[in-house]
Amino acid sequence: MTHQHGTQLAGHVALSLVIPVFNEAATIDLFIARITDVFKEEALVGLEMVFVNDGSTDATLDLLLERQRSDPRVRIVDLSRNFGKEAALTAGLQTATGQVVVPIDADLQDPPEVILQMIALWRQGYEVVLGHRVSRRTDSWAKKTSANWFYRLHNRISDQPLPKDVGDFRLMDRCVVEALESLPESRRFMKGLFAWVGFRTTHVDYERPERVAGETKFNGWRLWNFALEGITSFSTDPLKVWTYLGLFVSLVSFSFAIFIVLRTLITGVDVPGYASLMVAVTFLGGLQLIGIGVLGEYLGRTYIESKRRPVYLVRRVYNPKD
């Protein structure tokens, strides 16, 4: 694999763009036009665009089929329902045929021009080229703050840290894509899987612009669940912490018991207050429920993985000559 990669660095490269779309009818034409403009003079780049329709309810699929009639570079994977971006991304990676593969969103917040810089670095021998956002000025304060805290927490407790301010936008050599395809998880946190497989990696800095059209599909609740998925996928520390917390609470309780015994021996019998008793009961009850909840997160993942259901189901793949 390494020898084959090295012999092809200087010549023609087959590039696959993987574009998960969910209700992106407003951005499809703008995206294809921008891609066409960027690669129109790149004779050494053979391009295919793999659009994964993740159960869109608007005109996304019809628009893609219309564009495919005039553009043979367009391939369409139509999923049977909305499985989520991670599943759609997995479907696209498994469908893409390129020597190098780049996941990219249709909203053009990841500038296609950066891909040319990625290819140049790939030709130097790198197998993964990350798109690194130099600023998050287009994100809200809440999103920036929550993202910073997520990266700090995840990278502190996980064995495999995530590169900060790096999304799915990256170039991957075919050997990296094949490694990702070999991973058997049903619940797939792709940022973590990208980091876990490793390979020789570098990055390209870029400014992230506003969406060209449409609205983001991520809200606060989905981002929270996404963060939980990432933390529980690559670390068991949330389970371990309850051992230490339980030990700490037990020591505090034992110390307080000794204090009560000594005070009773010295000053006589004392009637404990109702308020302090209720605080202790509710505090410990809350800790137990949180601990059970954390256990439930991991048990739920184990239960889902044990079913071995496929990550996604394809309704139909539309190739240019179909």
Q: pLDDT by residue (tens digit) across 220-232?
A: 556 656 566 656 6
Element (H, E) at 78: strand 74-79
- Domain match, 303 and 264 both: yes
The reply to whether 83 and 184 lie within a common domain is: yes
On whether both 64 and 176 belong to a single domain, the answer is yes
Say yes or no: 56 and 139 in one domain: yes
317: DSSP letter: E
**How far apart, in whole angstroms, are the C-alpha atoms of residue 216 and residue 75?**
24
List the domain range (segments joined by +) for residue 104. Answer: 2-235+310-318
Same domain, 204 and 250: no
Give me the pLDDT at residue 1, please.
40
Residue 3 confidence (pLDDT): 39
> Could you tell me if 39 and 138 lie in one domain?
yes
Task: Indicate if 102 and 13 belong to the same structural domain.
Answer: yes
- Specify the DSSP class assigned to residue 129: E
Contacts of 128 (CB under 8 A, 6+ apart): 170, 171, 172, 173, 176, 194, 199, 200, 201, 202
Q: 262 and 227: one domain?
A: no
The low-confidence residues of the chain, meaning pLDDT below 50, are 1-4, 6-7
If asked whether residues 120 and 224 sit together in one domain, one would say: yes
Are residues 21 and 125 located together in one domain of the fold?
yes
pLDDT value of position 292: 77
Looking at the fold, whether 128 and 32 belong to one and the same domain comes out as yes
Residues 169 and 257 in one domain: no
CATH code of the domain covering residue 135: 3.90.550.10
The domain total for the chain is 2
